[in-house]
Amino acid sequence: MRSSTLLLGSALAGTAFAAPYRAASRLDLPHDVSGRDQACNGFSELCGRKYSDVTFVGAHDSAFVGVLPMDNQFEDVADQLSQGIRFLQAQSHSKNNAIELCHTSCIIKDAGPLKNFLSPIKSFLDGNANEVVTLLLTNGDGISVSAFDAVFQAIGLASYAYVPSGVIAFDAWPTLSELISSGKRLVVFMDYHTDTSKVDYILDEFSFIYETPFDTTDPKFAQCTVDRPPNGDTTKLMGLVNHFLDVEIDIFGEQILIPDTLKTGKTNSLASITAQTSLCVSQHTRTPNFVLLDFISVGDALKAQKQLNGL
């Protein structure tokens, strides 16, 4: 996640970087599951799998929609969900005692209040009874987890959230079918400043997940290093691969990173995604559970997800 990247949108607005290249390829829609008794996230084969045995390809910085250098997606969250994405990551920041979806700073990019981001997720879950969605929020400003809970409760989203018995083992997660049957079809992680004694459904990301490095500028993604948590045990944690490419540019003598939109089609190709996840398998013995992409409507996100799940 690009919480530490400096993006000077106002300085870049007049440059060539302000109009990212948009590839023509689009996401495949979920596969036809007609004639089957139940489909979980579009496939009957996933129903009996534990949540921790499923791979979700998701939208990095899913709230930041547009064509400027501080944007990471072309379609909004409602469209991302309708296209088949079931893993959404978003940055939160404090602004005027409220939780806003801001890119590094609310001066650079303010995508609006948390409520506006969560409401389409609630609507999607209301209308799609066989879908499990994962949400990963960053909390670099150390906002009280109770403040997040207040927003979740206000829009009725908290009732969908799964609550484990504690920091459960990798193989102790319920199956997708069990999550669906219980009505607990939203799994919520947060990177920092969680407190399950206060809000039991907002889970500490790094108690369950390890992440590879972000702000990558190597188009080969030739690593599957554990970046966070420090000394994370990959035999006990689910894996998250940050598979989005940045490029370094010079603005008024300062080096900054922005999304490398010119290479999005290649970065989001089946070959590129599976090359990095295969490297993770060779190093850590298991297929990663989560893969984050920029501009997820470009390339082969769902093709990769299908292949990674052996479908």
What is the DSSP track for the chain?
A: --TT----HHHHTTSGGGS----S--PPPPPP-TT-S--BTTBGGGTTSBGGG--EEEETTTT-BSSSTT--BSS-HHHHHHTT--EEEEEEEEETTEEEEEESEEEEEEEEEHHHHHHHHHHHHHH-TT--EEEEEEETT---HHHHHHHHHHTT-GGGB---SSS--GGGSPBHHHHHHHT--EEEEESSS--TTT-TTEEEHHHHEEE--SSB--TT-------BSTT--TTTSEEEEE--BEEEEEETTEEEEEE-GGGHHHHTSHHHHHHHHHHHHHHHSS--SEEEESSTTSS-HHHHHHHHTT-
In angstroms, how far is CA 261 from the centroid of its own chain?
A: 18
Q: Which of 31, 60, 93, 284 is catalytic?
A: 60
Cis peptide preceding 164, ω within 30 of 0: no
* Rounded Cα distance, 28 and 183, in Å: 27
Residue 227, C-beta contacts closer than 8 angstroms, at least 6 positions apart: 210, 211, 212, 213, 214
**Burial degree of 199 (CB within 10 A; 0-12, 13-18, 19+):** buried
Query: Among this protein's residues, is 93 annotated catalytic?
Result: no
Q: Which of 31, 103, 193, 243 is catalytic?
A: 103
Query: Among this protein's residues, is 31 annotated catalytic?
Result: no
C-alpha count within 13 angstroms, C-beta hemisphere, residue 300: 13
List active site positions.
60, 103
